[in-house]
Amino acid sequence: MKLKLNVWRQKDSVTEGAFENFNVNDVSEHMSFLEMLDVLNEDLITDGKEPVAFDHDCREGICGSCAMSVNGYPHGHRKGTTVCQLHMREFNDGEELWIEPFRAKGFPVIKDLVTDRSAFDRIIESGGYVSVRTGQAQDANSIPIRKENADVAMDAAACIGCGACVAACPNGAAMLFTSAKINHLNLLPQGQVEKNERTIAMVEQMQNEGFGSCTNHYECESACPKSISINFISDMNKAYIKSKAFGKAGI
């Protein structure tokens, strides 16, 4: 398989970037998208050129590091898939691809396809924890949690923090990410003590980071590789209003 690649190249956060064209030959349909980029970089290094910088870690759709858009779609066109799990059999021989970093005010470009997504870390640091003493790990069946709550909390915890929701949103909103991180703790008994304080802190940190607001485009849910439901956003909004009304201590 042969491909024509248009890859975003940017030296650093202050230098203006642009697309650069590359031709890649002998691409196997069994390769992942990142393995195809590895082949490109091997060719560039062999020719004495600087390789394309991109983030990766697990390459198993777990870490959320491979944050890039392919042909305008965060993580590519395949639903429920990260770039590292996107295989080249999804593309056609001779196809032209446009590869760029996630575009959002909250995700400044560091170099090429690498963006600074530490804003997500700061949102989690502001309230994504429980401070109660839990002691040693308990048997799951001994903790009184309604199955419905446990299932929904697990759905929220599936968020890998990749940022596709932000990149897909016309407003650059991080509300799907933030609501998932809030709800997966707020729904569990261990998270009840700090529920109101957590909600206020994380929502306001999200706002301070410069992310936009949700206006119900639903692009975030569509782009999310873990299919996180937009219903979490409405749950977060209700929890935030209640927390502000009754104070951090709650009732």
Can you give the residue ranges of every domain in the chain? 3-111, 118-246
Q: Provide the token pair at 28.
A: 């196997």
pTM assigned to the model: 0.92
| Reported confidence tier of residue 146, pLDDT bands at 50, 70, 90 | confident
| pLDDT exceeds 70 at position 150 | yes
For Cα atoms 219, 224, 228, give the angle at the middle one, nearest 5 degrees: 100
Contact assessment for residue 219 and residue 167, using Cβ atoms and an 8 Å cutoff:
no
Residue range 230-237: mean pLDDT, rounded: 96
| Residue 144 pLDDT | 78
Q: Which CATH number fits domain 118-246: 1.10.1060.10, 1.10.600.10, 1.10.1660.10, 3.30.1490.20?
A: 1.10.1060.10
- Nearest in space to 147 (alpha carbons), one of 116, 111, 187: 187
| Same fold across 3-111 and 118-246 | no
Beta-carbon contacts of residue 232 (< 8 Å; ≥ 6 apart)? 156, 176, 179, 180, 182, 183
Residue range 40-56: mean pLDDT, rounded: 97
End-to-end CA distance of the chain: 62
Mean pLDDT of all residues in the chain?
Answer: 93
Was domain 3-111 assigned CATH 3.10.20.30? yes
Q: What share of the chain in percent tops pLDDT 90?
A: 86
| Residue 251 pLDDT | 44
| Residue 77 pLDDT | 95
Residue range 110-136: mean pLDDT, rounded: 90
In this structure, what DSSP letter does residue 155 have? H
